[in-house]
Structure 1
Amino acid sequence: MTRPTRRWTALGMVLATAALTSCTTGSEGAADTSRVRVAVTADATSFDPARGNVAADYQFARLTHDTLVRSNPEGETVPGLAASWEESPTEVEFTLREGVTCSDGTALDADTVAAALEYLASPDTGSSITGNVFGPGEPEISSDTDAGTVTVTLESPWSGLLPGLSSAQAGIPCTTDPEELASGGAPGTGAYTLTDSQRGSEYTFSLREDYDWAPDFGTRGSFPETITFQVIENESTVANQMETGQIDYAAFTGADSARFDPGEYTVVSRPTVFMFLVFNEREGRPGADPRVREAVARSVEPDAFRNAVTSEAGTLLNTVVPADFRCALDDASLLTETDPDAAAGILGDVEMSLVGTNAIAGGSGNEYVRAALAEAGAQIDLRNVDNATWGTEVLGAEGDWDVTVMAALNPSGTLTPTMSLLTGPPPPDGRNFGAVDSPGLTEGFQSAMSSVDTGEQCAAWQDAQRAMLEGHHAVPLSSVDVSWVMAEHVSATVFPTGVEISTLRITD
């Protein structure tokens, strides 16, 4: 085996972080400083990290199942369950951290980790990130329990392996029993276990007494004894409950975050959700016709969409990620000019089903798109659904839809997670939920992921984005700033795209 030129270890690594603290609170009464009560606007779709699709899934996975590696606030890959690793373009050997146990008390060994990775890679699992992590083909995964090592060998070079293995969906459970994982009772490697589950209402996670291997992201304070998630669909209701001390931590996409004085609460805002239109391009659907996709692009005005969602607080997008992401194609001239009159000639007889999540500003962006398409003559049926339903019906490709306002979360700072939604096989075998068929996009994506040269990667990424825009396979709109609000006794670490749930702490 050819050994690489670089080795990461847990020793001597410098982590640059920004810790959050606050001074006073606007809450009424004394706070319970043993727990953090978190508001989420929609249910999870799965407790199995490999099968997660929406924000709540990722948050739950981060608490219960740690990953081999993590990404720190500087965007560097750092140790997680793996203390170190050696890498080449087609292979990575991980040396596991000593002393890690599963939540059922058993020691985490290399065979267990290898089984978890094989489960993630298996087509039978149907994980939406398998191709994003391992690239084309099936990886070979082996373990050496005595040496405490796990080796992942790829069929071809794939630059997304380490970033992919840092994602919440690559969390390492201590079983591969699908039923046990789906129930939320599977033994895990994270700091918390699920101790109470009331679907549609409340989820409680309790701290493990033996957990002491969290990455040092610089957060001040101690782990909460419990973290309770309360499902509250309306952000104004969430804000009311924060003001009365019933909620300690919440994320806001609408105007309610302005109710919280940064002098009384910790308030952090970051561009976190990146919004663009995606079509169902399967045979027989309107989106399979490139003329329809172009007409839809001519019907919407990104600036008007931004105003509807964020009141000008967001940033207009020229591609499906912000301009500061590495290799992003920042060329507004490639965008289709708004021309509703021209669109009307194509959309006048078209019937379309628009399905979107109401987790972003109550679905106001979906309503804008519906009105814009209706004005251009299309017959539009809009369904504003909760995030869990949207994840199942649209991202999971199990529902009846023609166009959606994609609300993409991408904390990686790279194009890979978002662009992988637009290429490759559709669910359940891949992430291409719209069954997008663009040879140029696919070729650019594969070339970017197979290259180890950064210049070649960016050239290929830009080719992929041009093909995406020219074929109107995605219509860029705007970013949405998410504001995280925390009560007096809560702190966390700020990452470039927001606050990481696993860094929640109780301040002393």
Structure 2
Amino acid sequence: MIRPRPAASAAVAVSAVLTLAACTTSAGPGAGPTSGRDGTAGAVFRFAATSDANTFDPAKGTAATDYSLARLQYATLVNRDTGNKIIPGLAETWDATPAGATFTLRKGLSCTDGKPLTASAVAGSLRRFADPKTGSSGVVFAFGPGAPTITADDQAGTVTVTLAQPWSDLLVGLSLTNAGIVCPAGLADPQALARGPVAGAGTGPYVLADVQRGRSYTFTLREGYPAFPSYAPQGTPPAQLKLSVLANESTAANQLSTGGLDYVALTGPDAARFAQGGYTLKTAPLLRMFVVFNQREGHPGADPKIRKAVAQALDLQAFNKVFGGKGEAMKSWSDSTSECASTDAALVTATDPAAAKQVLAGVKIRLTGTNGVANGSGNAYVQEALRAAGADVTLRNVDNATWASDVLADKGEWDLTVMAHLNFAGTLTSGALLLTGPPPPRGRNFGDLRNDAFTAGMGKAMAAADPAAKCAGWAEAQQALLGRNDVVPLATVPVAFVYGKNADGAVVNGTPDPTTFRIKG
């Protein structure tokens, strides 16, 4: 049985998902190149973020800007391409099973100070990432429950990860930016690593050359970098990247239209301005929205009849229209882009307002949601739909920090929440980790769900050695969870990634990869 490891702070561990989502939706982070701006054709690529970095330490990143900085400076052992296939990163080849993996490093790798990147250095970085004292929110995605054993063979150029329990998402977890490899110069002074760039610490294609906190960041390309991802589009890697902190989506869109930026990410109506005129527009799901109940004794969500009635009161298509109607009505806690996600509508409780009224009339429900996603308009829809079914619903639209404390850490009075989940891992595991195991403060199961069949199905999936068996396990888990209405699927919220006329880049699992920014022509 899978039992995700307890977290020192469940709110910190899982609110990273929403923190990143909110940074992107409330103002729409952007990124883009400005070819030839500094006198050399194809030299500069300018992009933007809506908020400043929280940390420069890749292991401790929790927000959109943190992840962008980490991806540029700290390479991972493996990458995922635009089809979510695992491909080489710092590792050229690997041999993986649910019990662990051995990675063979590329030849000629170096740190940003020119010193060779050895297998021992890579293993040291991974051990520090896995150490609970580091406090990385990405550890459980990579290694699953328990502490891994990580060893190196410098002569063979290999790094071996042996897991405490089977975890078939190891490679996915090691592709995330939290698992970025830090050279010994950075590990020697973790506090300095968190504050800013440390000379010789990086393993990625860019070096952070100038820092203006709250304003801008400038990166320079490492000549001859050997590990660029193969899925990058055609074009020239910029010799310089300049990131500006812009707090408003419309401002970023205006700068794109006037040539001040060559890339922005837009969630609002500004995206329509770039449907023509030589811009490259790519769309992908950003948030996966679903209802989660507080199932502790004394809360209405503890009653399966009430959970079913709530599901009957909600209309997925109506919820989708709240965000412009361009999302996907989901059939699970993630969407169809996630491996093994259910597409069977029969597993989802059908909308039936009349049946919902028979159960919800007079039921008091405290709905708490974040206002970081379209000012909480999705929460307002849920409130009105439940009120229409006769429930007495009070809504608290709160900021992310309050939501994380009240809901994720269970320090407030709540009965129901609309989870805005940025599935950065692109797997069912990412959301499932919030729905099983111990409740806060020992774990991440913030609704205190107790569904043994779901946990057993997840365990089978994570122990599976082949894709068919993995999906069979997830099928059992999803049927168990949806059958009890432990969660109510809603819809995705998409984002438009817009590149300027001379720019391009790859979008991986709903987020841009800044190492693939290219200048065309």
User: CA offsets per residue over residues 431-476 of structure 1, 9 Å max, x none?
Assistant: 5454543222211111111011433322210111122212333211
Partner of 1:220: 234
2:68 is aligned with 1:37: no
User: CA offsets per residue over residues 55-92 of structure 1, 9 Å max, x none?
Assistant: 33332221121100111234332211112223344232
Q: For 1:106-255, list aligned pairs within 5 A.
A: 106-174=115-183, 175-176=186-187, 177-186=189-198, 187-197=201-211, 201-210=214-223, 212-213=225-226, 214-255=228-269
User: CA offsets per residue over residues 84-116 of structure 1, 9 Å max, x none?
Assistant: 223344232112223222234433222221122
Aligned mate of 1:479, from 473, 477, 492:
492
Partner of 2:288: 274
Contact 1:31–1:489 (CA under 8 A) maintained in structure 2: no
Partner of 1:93: 102
Aligned mate of 1:466, from 479, 483, 486:
479
Partner of 1:422: 435
CA drift of 1:400 comes to 4.2
State percent identity of aligned pairs: 41
Distance in 2 of aligned mates of 1:197 and 1:347: 57
Contact 2:365–2:391 (CA under 8 A) maintained in structure 1: no
CA drift of 1:295 comes to 4.3
For the aligned residues, what is the CA RMSD? Answer: 3.3
TM-score, normalised relative to structure 1: 0.82
Contact 1:193–1:206 (CA under 8 A) maintained in structure 2: yes
Distance in 1 of aligned mates of 2:407 and 2:481: 18
Alignment CA distance shift 1:265-1:228 (3 Å): same
Contact 1:353–1:381 (CA under 8 A) maintained in structure 2: yes
CA drift of 1:496 comes to 6.2
TM-score, normalised relative to structure 2: 0.80
What SS does the aligned partner of 1:124 have? helix
Alignment CA distance shift 1:49-1:130 (3 Å): same
Contact 1:128–1:429 (CA under 8 A) maintained in structure 2: no
Contact 1:103–1:208 (CA under 8 A) maintained in structure 2: no
Contact 2:98–2:462 (CA under 8 A) maintained in structure 1: no
Partner of 2:19: none
Contact 1:72–1:217 (CA under 8 A) maintained in structure 2: yes
Distance in 1 of aligned mates of 2:236 and 2:407: 36
What SS does the aligned partner of 1:421 have? coil
Alignment CA distance shift 1:242-1:116 (3 Å): same
Number of residue pairs matched?
477
Distance in 1 of aligned mates of 2:218 and 2:233: 20
Partner of 1:55: 64
Amino acid at match of 1:333: A
Give unmatched runs, 5+ long, in structure 1.
1-26
CA drift of 1:267 comes to 1.1
Distance in 2 of aligned mates of 1:401 and 1:196: 45
What SS does the aligned partner of 2:434 have? helix
Partner of 2:87: 78
Distance in 1 of aligned mates of 2:216 and 2:164: 40
Distance in 1 of aligned mates of 2:110 and 2:392: 57
Amino acid at match of 2:493: V
184-193 or 301-310, which deviates more: 184-193
Contact 1:207–1:223 (CA under 8 A) maintained in structure 2: no
What SS does the aligned partner of 1:317 have? coil
Amino acid at match of 1:462: A
User: CA offsets per residue over residues 405-428 of structure 1, 9 Å max, x none?
Assistant: 333334665423333332335678
CA drift of 1:137 comes to 2.4
CA drift of 1:182 comes to 2.6
Partner of 2:278: 264
Distance in 1 of aligned mates of 2:508 and 2:174: 18
Amino acid at match of 2:312: R
User: CA offsets per residue over residues 245-298 of structure 1, 9 Å max, x none?
Assistant: 333211112222001133331111233432222345567766555555444433
Partner of 2:460: 447
What SS does the aligned partner of 1:138 have? coil
Amino acid at match of 2:500: A
User: CA offsets per residue over residues 287-328 of structure 1, 9 Å max, x none?
Assistant: 555555444433422111100112x22221111223354322
User: CA offsets per residue over residues 193-214 of structure 1, 9 Å max, x none?
Assistant: 4445555x43414124346021
Distance in 2 of aligned mates of 1:140 and 1:123: 13
User: CA offsets per residue over residues 143-164 of structure 1, 9 Å max, x none?
Assistant: 1233322111123432111121
Amino acid at match of 1:107: P
Contact 2:209–2:220 (CA under 8 A) maintained in structure 1: no
54-63 or 163-172, which deviates more: 54-63
